[in-house]
Amino acid sequence: MKKLIFPFWILIGVLLAWPAFGYNGLVEVSIRSDRGFYLPTFPVSSEQAHTYRTYVEAVRGERYSVRVVNRSPYRLGVVIAVDGRNIISGKKSFLQPQERMYILDPHGAGLYEGWRTGRDRVNRFYFTEAGDSYAGAWGDHSAMGVIAVAVFPERRPPEPPPATIYEPEEPYRHQDRKEGLKKSAPQPMMPRAEAQPGTGFGEGRYSPSRRVDFEPEPVPVERHFLKYEWRETLCRRGIIDCRPSGNRFWDEGRGYAPYPPGR
């Protein structure tokens, strides 16, 4: 059985405001600012099943947390990677079940505030330039600007099949069989992103945790990718409409009447 980190401060039920956007998956993922609101998000379509992608508007210098809500009645393990690095181990992540992960109780929620640097300590997430980021400090720009969450259900013992009845020469007997199922884990590739925004290694904060037993299934049931960008980048790409919208009867500072066109 794997020994995995389980935070004491897992929130049971929905204690914070529900995010403005929704998913149809087992978990909800949102980015919460230290100022008490959720960062604007702009979902985009994905060709991969059970994969959710969205843009997030980042604010320079903003401290933030990754909030994950378990909508299922089962325990779930979540591997979380920021800029391609596992937020518990700090190692390069491939969203695999062998990695360190957090555990969510049924219908519970977790608020993950930073890079875990000890059993009782994390160092805060904050938006910064790629050159100041934690991943950049390791020379890793392979998934810069992406917050990724892979969701793993807990492996449970297989149900025994019905008794098989057969007729040998001796009196009837019943035989039970158990057949194990083997699944091969895929090797998902993280999308290469432009290395402009990144997540820094901020100040330390007390964050107690403990280890629990959890054996994940070998394949994630769903994945969430949140690509955070500065507002000017989202405007330039047309993700958000940044055209000015003034009031034609309240446009101060125009001065005198201009000459008409063509004069």
- Residue 171 Ramachandran class (φ > 0 left, ψ -120 to 50 alpha, else beta): beta
Number of domains observed in the structure of the chain: 1
Flag whether 263 is in a domain.
no
Flag whether 178 is in a domain.
no
Q: What angle do CA 90, 65, 74 make, to 5 degrees?
A: 85
CA distance 226 to 230: 13
pLDDT at 156: 82
Flag whether 181 is in a domain.
no
CA distance 40 to 16: 16
Flag whether 174 is in a domain.
no
Flag whether 55 is in a domain.
yes
Flag whether 191 is in a domain.
yes
Flag whether 41 is in a domain.
yes
E strands in 3-46: 3-7, 11-12, 27-33, 41-44
DSSP category for residue 86: E
Flag whether 74 is in a domain.
yes
- Expressed as residue numbers, the domain containing 119 is 3-157+187-236
Per-residue pLDDT of the chain (263 residues; tens, 9 = 90+): 444 444 434 333 333 333 333 346 899 999 999 999 999 999 998 888 899 999 999 999 999 999 999 999 999 999 999 999 999 999 999 999 999 999 999 999 999 999 999 999 999 999 999 999 999 999 999 999 999 999 999 998 777 777 766 555 544 333 333 333 333 333 444 344 444 899 999 999 999 999 999 999 999 999 999 999 999 999 999 999 888 777 767 666 556 777 787 76
